[in-house]
């Protein structure tokens, strides 16, 4: 698998979930999109500004869907 491109603010947000596909690509899913239609499900990256950004804790763990 190749290195994942920078997703901007999403990389430090609690609402990001990484979704891999069968061809090795990884997509940045915004979990806020499930409850708020103002947020795109798969935002165009890199995201430079986002009113819904909430910084992740120090451990920086990102949920990866399998």
Q: For 6-41, how does the pLDDT look when each residue is reduced to its tens digit (9 = 90+)?
A: 889 999 999 999 999 999 999 999 999 999 999 999
User: Residue 8 falls within a domain, yes or no?
Assistant: yes
User: Residue 57 falls within a domain, yes or no?
Assistant: no
Residue 63 pLDDT greater than 70, yes or no: no
**Vertex 26: Cα angle to 37 and 22 (nearest 5):** 110
User: Residue 63 falls within a domain, yes or no?
Assistant: no
Pairing of strands 26-30, 16-20: antiparallel
User: Residue 55 falls within a domain, yes or no?
Assistant: no
**What's the domain range around 39?**
1-47
pTM of the model: 0.77
Q: 58 or 32: whose pLDDT is higher?
A: 32
- Per the structure, how many domains does the chain have? 1
Q: What is the pLDDT of residue 6?
A: 87
Which residues, in sequence order, are CB contacts of 29 under 8 Å at separation 6+? Answer: 16, 17, 18, 19, 41, 42, 65
Q: Could you tell me the pLDDT band of residue 60, with boundaries at 50, 70 and 90? A: low
């Amino acid at each position: 698998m190749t290195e994942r491109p920078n997703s901007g603010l999403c990389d430090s947000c609690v609402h990001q979930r990484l979704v891999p596909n069968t061809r090795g690509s990884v997509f940045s899913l915004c979990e806020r999109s499930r409850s708020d239609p103002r947020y795109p499900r798969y935002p165009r990256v890199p995201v430079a500004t986002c009113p819904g950004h909430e910084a992740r804790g120090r451990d920086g763990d990102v949920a990866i869907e399998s």
